[in-house]
Amino acid sequence: MAQRVFVELLLFLTPFMVFLVYRAASRDMMIKDRWPLTSLVLVGAGLAIAALVIGPLLEPSESNKCFQAAQYINGKTIPAKEVPCAEAKQPGREPGAADAEQPTRPPPVAPRDEPLPPKPLDSGPGPG
């Protein structure tokens, strides 16, 4: 985590360092005009955000791995872990069971043929 923060900070400060080297390499060491602070901040922020987005996209992904969430079974907590998808416990399916072995059933549908009984009319507060 500290490495990630350090890299992001370094990417943000890169435009400032490049501008400083450019000013130091120029013939006149005196800075006559203001630093283009807004431009340097925007470019640095753009670099840092681009690294945040592109970095995870370029990391290799593990295929055929599923996340098994933490479970509480029989009074014991089983920690979360990555398991092969064939062994992952999925709702409505036994671990290791192939999808082809289980018949697919349509979801249950509520009956709509019978009308609902009418509600009794409220007669309001009365003697009683």
- The tens place of each residue's pLDDT in the chain, 128 residues long, gives 788 889 999 999 999 999 888 887 877 666 666 678 888 999 999 999 999 999 888 877 767 788 888 888 888 998 988 888 777 776 666 555 555 555 677 777 776 777 777 777 776 676 65
Question: What pTM, to 2 d.p., does this model score?
Answer: 0.46
Environment class of 13 (CB within 10 Å of its CB; exposed 0-12, middle 13-18, buried 19+)? middle
**Contact call for residues 70 and 80 (beta carbons, < 8 A):** yes
